[in-house]
């Protein structure tokens, strides 16, 4: 088994350590895929890309799992360097996102990127996903890889994870779970030469990495030629993409689409002296599709409160608000780390609704009540699939209902689940009450939502009022409806139908 990180102080390997993620079997490229128009080479800055070497000889990132080779994928790591530009605005930034920014200062940088791609070029579907790695935990993490890797690998995507922010390289203010796991601290022999001049330069570093996917693909992608390059980022990274779309997006042709995953009411800082507006919308003069994906926590959670930034869908903007989901959950905090697409993780996630965990990574982080075990991963996979179809065909996904929010609170059904929004059988034929709110405990716990399962004595009357056979029929019918509406992919539904039939319910 190849490894991608080193555990140095006994903290749980699942968080820090690290092995390559196992995923589902590779799939064939879509027969309807078509090439987009790459940007003009003269209009972009192409950084220097060289294979990463030195130190312990292994890429370091918060992840867990086993060998990617078993599913026809391989991982490489690269150093990316160049000169980046920061940006400023001569006018106050407005809530409508229709900004005009100008170059400010420049600085040299050297960062790293991790690439996961099909070993067989014939299985590459033409899509390159560039994930803005998340640094909320004080080290680089790839939550969007974890949430979507089953879909990425079965469809043949290439994935690039960029260390775009200074915290992941040098450290700094964060909600860090453990100390000493910035890149330079984790492996100074490998990463000691990295230079990050400050997060005001992160936007151009990200643009240049997208340019490298197009024009340095002989090195970065092992010769794979992209048809489409797509930007994605979750949580803190989504805040930065929100700012990126409004400030940088109009001035670059690098990206074919954006998936902004779990953002808050405003974007991240553009520059150290630029005031960011609250309730920030996405600009309406977009050139490429933007899909915003919002969990319940993102709508009303402390420090997020996206509800104030709601805006109507447009020809190039869709927002998905998903009932029963949290900002982070049992899947991306453990179960998803070893999901190889064979259905075992699907069964584990269903079981987590019945016996939900209150701690993660062997007790490294414990919350006051069990965390959310909702359908976040399945709907996000479908969102990515829908964005891909939108980019390739020009046909936007149907607009989705929004969550019902009254006087700053979710409207709830008789079993305590939120009404409105994107529906799944997990909330419409529930075995538990799933929420993105209501959690307490350590700093991160407020992002993890809750799962409340009825006590055993009340479970049958609460979840199975018409008996188990009727429950199975109703759950699968709801699942089929979610597939028909594009909320869950049929490839995932195949596994879930078997999971629900085989699930052992409390007696």
Local structure of residue 420 (DSSP, 8 states)? B
pLDDT of residue 62: 83
19 and 161 share one domain:
yes
pLDDT of residue 363: 81
- Asked if 407 and 454 touch (Cβ cutoff 8 Å), the reply is no
Range of the domain at 275: 1-288
Count of other CB atoms within 10 angstroms of residue 362: 12
189 and 283 share one domain:
yes
Count of other CB atoms within 10 angstroms of residue 443: 11
387 and 271 share one domain:
no
12 and 128 share one domain:
yes
Tell me the Ramachandran region of residue 213: left when phi exceeds 0, alpha when psi lies from -120 to 50, beta otherwise: alpha
SS3 for 180?
coil
| Closest residue by Cα to residue 415 from 405, 429, 401 | 429
Counting the structural domains of the chain, the total is 2
pLDDT of residue 24: 35
Write down which residue in 288, 314, 346 finishes a domain. 288
241 and 175 share one domain:
yes
Provide φ and ψ at 362, rounded to 5°: 65, 25
Q: Which two tokens stand for residue 119?
A: 């070993």
255 and 388 share one domain:
no
Write down which residue in 229, 257, 288 finishes a domain. 288
Tell me which residues of the chain have a pLDDT lower than 70: 1-36, 63-66, 174-180
Write down which residue in 288, 322, 346 finishes a domain. 288
Tell me if 370 is assigned to some domain: yes
Tell me if 310 is assigned to some domain: no
Q: Which two tokens stand for residue 28?
A: 């064939």
Tell me if 485 is assigned to some domain: yes
Q: Which helix (H) or strand (E) holds 319?
A: strand 317-322
Q: Which two tokens stand for residue 184?
A: 């330079």
Counting Cα atoms < 13 Å in the Cβ hemisphere of 384 gives 30
57 and 138 share one domain:
yes
Cα torsion angle, 253, 156, 498, 339, sign = negative
Instruction: Could you list the beta-strand ranges (E) of 352-480.
Output: 359-360, 365-366, 405-406, 409-410, 433-435, 450-452
pLDDT single digits (tens) 419-447: 999 999 999 999 999 999 999 877 789 99
- Asked if 309 and 276 touch (Cβ cutoff 8 Å), the reply is no
24 and 131 share one domain:
yes
Q: Which helix (H) or strand (E) holds 76?
A: strand 73-88
- Asked if 349 and 335 touch (Cβ cutoff 8 Å), the reply is yes
- Whose tokens are 């998803």? That residue is 336
Alpha carbons 499 and 132: distance in angstroms, whole number: 33
Tell me if 89 is assigned to some domain: yes
CA distances (Å), origin 407, targets 98, 421, 493: 29, 17, 35
262 and 383 share one domain:
no
Tell me if 319 is assigned to some domain: no
Alpha carbons 446 and 373: distance in angstroms, whole number: 14
CA distances (Å), origin 388, targets 19, 26, 80, 227, 385: 29, 17, 27, 11, 5
283 and 392 share one domain:
no
- Whose tokens are 């579907």? That residue is 125
Global confidence as pTM: 0.93
Cβ-based neighbours of 312, under 8 Å, separated by 6 or more: none
Tell me if 308 is assigned to some domain: no
pLDDT of residue 165: 97
Alpha carbons 28 and 31: distance in angstroms, whole number: 8
Tell me if 326 is assigned to some domain: no
Angle formed by the axes of helices 376-393 and 143-155, to 10°? Answer: 60
362 and 491 share one domain:
yes
pLDDT of residue 15: 40
pLDDT single digits (tens) 410-419: 999 999 999 9
| Closest residue by Cα to residue 59 from 197, 183, 148, 218 | 183
138 and 230 share one domain:
yes
Tell me if 325 is assigned to some domain: no
């Amino acid at each position: 088994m190849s490894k991608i990180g080193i555990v140095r102080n006994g903290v749980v390997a699942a968080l820090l350590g690290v092995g390559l993620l196992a995923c589902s079997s590779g799939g064939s490229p879509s027969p309807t895929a078509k090439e987009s128009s790459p940007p003009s080479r003269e209009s972009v800055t192409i950084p220097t890309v060289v294979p990463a070497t030195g130190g312990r000889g292994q890429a370091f990132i918060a992840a867990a799992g086993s060998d990617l080779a078993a599913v026809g994928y391989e991982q490489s790591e690269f150093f990316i360097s160049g000169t980046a530009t920061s940006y400023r605005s001569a006018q106050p930034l407005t809530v409508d996102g229709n900004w005009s920014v100008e170059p400010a200062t420049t600085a040299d940088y050297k960062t790293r990127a991790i690439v996961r791609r099909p070993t067989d070029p014939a299985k590459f579907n033409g899509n390159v996903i560039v994930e803005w790695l998340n640094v909320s935990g004080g080290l680089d993490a790839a939550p969007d890889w974890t949430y979507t890797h089953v879909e990425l690998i079965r469809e043949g995507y290439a994935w690039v994870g960029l260390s775009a922010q200074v915290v992941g390289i040098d450290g700094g203010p964060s909600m860090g779970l453990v100390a000493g796991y910035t890149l330079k601290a984790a492996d100074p022999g490998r990463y000691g030469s990295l230079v990050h001049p400050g997060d005001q330069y992160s936007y151009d570093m990200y643009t240049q990495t997208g340019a490298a996917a197009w024009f340095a693909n002989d090195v970065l992608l092992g010769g794979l030629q992209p048809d489409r390059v797509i930007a994605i980022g979750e949580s803190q990274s989504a805040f930065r993409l929100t700012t990126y779309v409004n400030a940088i997006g109009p001035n670059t042709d690098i990206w074919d689409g954006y998936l902004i995953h779990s953002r808050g009411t405003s974007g991240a800082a553009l520059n150290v002296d630029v005031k960011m507006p609250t309730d920030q919308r996405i600009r309406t003069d977009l050139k490429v599709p933007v899909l915003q994906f919002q969990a319940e926590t993102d709508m009303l959670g402390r420090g997020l409160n996206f509800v104030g930034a709601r805006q109507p869908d447009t020809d190039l903007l869709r927002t998905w608000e998903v009932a029963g989901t949290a900002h982070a959950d049992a899947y991306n905090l453990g179960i998803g780390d070893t999901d190889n697409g064979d259905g075992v993780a699907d069964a584990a996630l269903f079981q987590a609704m019945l016996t939900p965990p209150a701690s993660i990574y062997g007790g490294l982080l414990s919350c006051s009540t069990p965390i959310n075990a909702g359908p976040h991963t399945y709907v996000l996979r479908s969102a990515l699939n829908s964005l891909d179809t939108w980019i390739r065909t020009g046909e936007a996904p149907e607009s989705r209902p929004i969550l019902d929010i009254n006087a700053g609170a979710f409207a709830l059904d008789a079993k305590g689940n939120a009404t409105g929004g994107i529906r799944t059988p997990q909330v419409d034929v529930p075995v538990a009450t799933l929420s993105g709110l209501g959690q307490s405990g350590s700093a991160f716990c407020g992002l993890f939502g809750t799962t409340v399962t009825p006590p055993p004595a009340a479970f049958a009357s609460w979840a199975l009022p018409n008996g188990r056979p009727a429950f199975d029929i109703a759950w699968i019918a709801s699942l089929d409806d979610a597939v028909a509406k594009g909320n869950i992919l049929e490839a995932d539904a195949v596994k879930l139908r078997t999971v629900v039939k085989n699930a052992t319910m409390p007696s």
